[in-house]
Amino acid sequence: MKGMTKLLVLFVIGLSLLGTNLVAQEDANAIMKKSHMTYYYAGDDGVAEVKMTLVSSSGKEREREFTMLRLDNEDGGNQMYYTYFKKPSDVARTSFMVHKTDEGNDKRWIYVPAIDLVRPISADDKNSSFVGSDFSYEDVSGRHWTEDTHTMTGESELDGKAVWVIESVPKEGDDSFAKKISYIDQETYLPLKEEYFNDKDEMTRRFSAVEIEEVDGFITMTTRKMEDLDKGSHTIVAFSSIDYNVGLDEDIFTERYLKNPPRQYTN
């Protein structure tokens, strides 16, 4: 009888732990969804001027300047990005476009003016360097929260701000990282830091929020940083002249505008 009682107690404890883990995972999914929405879906559309500074391991700096446009077809779902490079001369007139879906099968194109060619970027290239920076193509438009399994690992404090610490593991095994640790601001829901690990549990990249401001009533990360810990390089991206809800036309996000940019936004 005592043995049966012990088994029953263990069974109840097991169910309790399982229930706790399921709640923690559900909470982590909800937090990552809201974080993604806050970070990538502010307003119905947006336009910004962007300055990207690439810093090599030796400290040498290179700069890129471009205009970025974004249009949401639905909150948390289909979304489109258009990027037009202005400086320096070796990338000027290059344009990049993303059609993002909530299924994760995003479509990407890049126009290379030197050869006057629009080239699709395959899904296999989504983790490649974005114009030589430490950000990948996927980093630019964001990785959809449904592509990973999220688990709450605790709460902490980062730069005086309370954060949730969440571990994310790709559901597919062909991604550039084995797991990611995110530190999500409990007040703004923006990711203050993200750490990427390989299958040897070595940190390979680190993302940081450098500056956060309120723009047009939306909490916005205006400066961000990505470090490649293997190469010792890092890239800083600063956004300025940010406008939300400007009424962008969906026609802008078509292939013909890759070669002929919308001058009312890119001049």
Report CA 159 to chain centroid distance, whole Å.
21
pLDDT tens string 25-79: 569 999 999 999 999 999 999 999 999 999 999 999 999 999 999 999 877 778 9
pTM given for the model = 0.85
pLDDT tens string 165-213: 999 999 987 678 999 999 999 999 999 999 999 999 999 999 999 999 9
95 burial (CB, 10 Å; 0-12 / 13-18 / 19+) is buried
Q: How far is CA 10 from CA 23, 24, 173, in A?
A: 20, 21, 34
Residue 94, pLDDT above cutoff 80: yes
Q: Is the peptide bond before 261 cis (omega within 30 degrees of 0)?
A: no
Which superfamily, per CATH, for 26-266?
Answer: Lipoprotein localisation LolA/LolB/LppX (2.50.20.10)
Across 108-134, average pLDDT: 88
Give the pairing of strands 179-185 and 148-158. Answer: unpaired
Residue 22, pLDDT above cutoff 80: no
Q: CB under 8 Å to 231, separation ≥6 — which residues?
A: 57, 134
Please report, in angstroms and rounded to a whole number, the separation of the first and last CA atoms in the chain: 82
